[in-house]
Amino acid sequence: MKFGVLVFPGANCDMDAYHAIGSALGEPVSYIWHDQRDLGDAECIIVPGGFTYGDYLRTGAIARFAKVMDSVIEFANAGKPVIGICNGFQILCEAGLLPGVLTRNTGLRFVCKFVHVKVESTNSPFTRGLAVGDVLKIPIAHNEGNYYCDQETYDKLVANDQILLRYSTPEGVITMEANPNGAMDNIAGICNEKRNVFGMMPHPERASEAILGSADGRRIFASIVNQGRS
């Protein structure tokens, strides 16, 4: 499966994502520049983490208007898989491809550490290779990871089984103590109603090899590949 990794000014995880796909997973991957509209032959788009355009105005607010995002929106609307990681999640929300917003962490501090997330649904290409209840050890690195939406939107997320990951203890218990940023209902990752667009705050590309402290993140990318081949 061919992956395309977007490259924005200020992004700092594009190379990590490229390595995770190309080296750890062994799948074809290419970079896609922010100022171009051609996505090439990519079959899955990765919107990586970082601080695009310095996070000015609001996280993801400027990147959302990059030329490449017009093509990403068309790509997603055609039902093709798009995964946004950390700042990429924020960009997808700003672009209207995912509901809700990511706001300042409740502690008002940048948080960088390993966390645990519980798989809440396997009804998506991104989690189909996992099992409900699986707990993944994946790092976070963000200042605005506090997911929020209004009650009507939240009710739809629950009703449509769109909450894919929640912060948890290593044992899979959902607690406030396990919530690193104050996110509503411990939400760490959601998908759209079509289930082909996924945003998550933890960085699976930084947990793609055991030498990094965990290889659990690779399971998410492997799920996308296996789904694409089925």
Which amino acid makes up residue 49? G
The pLDDT, as a whole number, for residue 228 is 64
Question: What are the respective helix, strand and coil percentages of the chain, to the nearest 5?
Answer: 30, 25, 40
DSSP-derived letter for residue 89 is H
Provide the CB-side half-sphere exposure for 47 (13 A, CA): 35
Give the count of beta carbons closer than 10 Å to the beta carbon of residue 198.
28
Q: In angstroms, how far is CA 77 from the centroid of its own chain?
A: 17
Instruction: Report the alpha-carbon distance of residue 179 to residue 188 in Å, rounded.
Output: 9
Identify the CA nearest to 105 among candidates 204, 12, 184. 184
The pLDDT, as a whole number, for residue 57 is 83
The pLDDT, as a whole number, for residue 56 is 84
DSSP-derived letter for residue 113 is E
Residue 34 bears catalytic tag: no
Residue 193 bears catalytic tag: no
Task: List, as own/partner pairs, every contact residues 127-135 make where C-beta atoms lie below 8 angstroms and the sequence separation is at least 24, other chains included.
Answer: 127/164, 127/165, 127/220, 127/223, 128/223, 128/226, 128/227, 129/219, 129/222, 129/223, 129/226, 129/227, 130/219, 130/220, 130/223, 133/172, 135/168, 135/170, 135/171, 135/172
The pLDDT, as a whole number, for residue 51 is 92
Task: List, as own/partner pairs, every contact residues 213-217 make where C-beta atoms lie below 8 angstroms and the sequence separation is at least 24, other chains included.
Answer: 213/114, 213/137, 213/139, 214/114, 214/136, 214/137, 214/138, 214/139, 215/24, 216/136, 216/137, 216/138, 217/20, 217/136, 217/138
Report yes or no: 75 and 43 within 8 Å, Cβ to Cβ: no
Write down the CATH number for the domain with range 3-229: 3.40.50.880
Identify the CA nearest to 111 among candidates 58, 167, 165, 174. 167
Residue 209 bears catalytic tag: no
Q: Which listed residue (86, 93, 149, 191) is catalytic? A: 86
The pLDDT, as a whole number, for residue 180 is 97
Question: Could you state, in order of their start, the residue ranges of all structural domains in the chain?
Answer: 3-229
The pLDDT, as a whole number, for residue 21 is 98
> How confident is the chain (230 residues) per 10-residue block, as mean pLDDT?
96 96 97 96 97 89 96 98 98 98 94 98 97 98 97 98 98 97 98 98 98 97 84
Identify the CA nearest to 192 among candidates 70, 83, 88, 65. 83
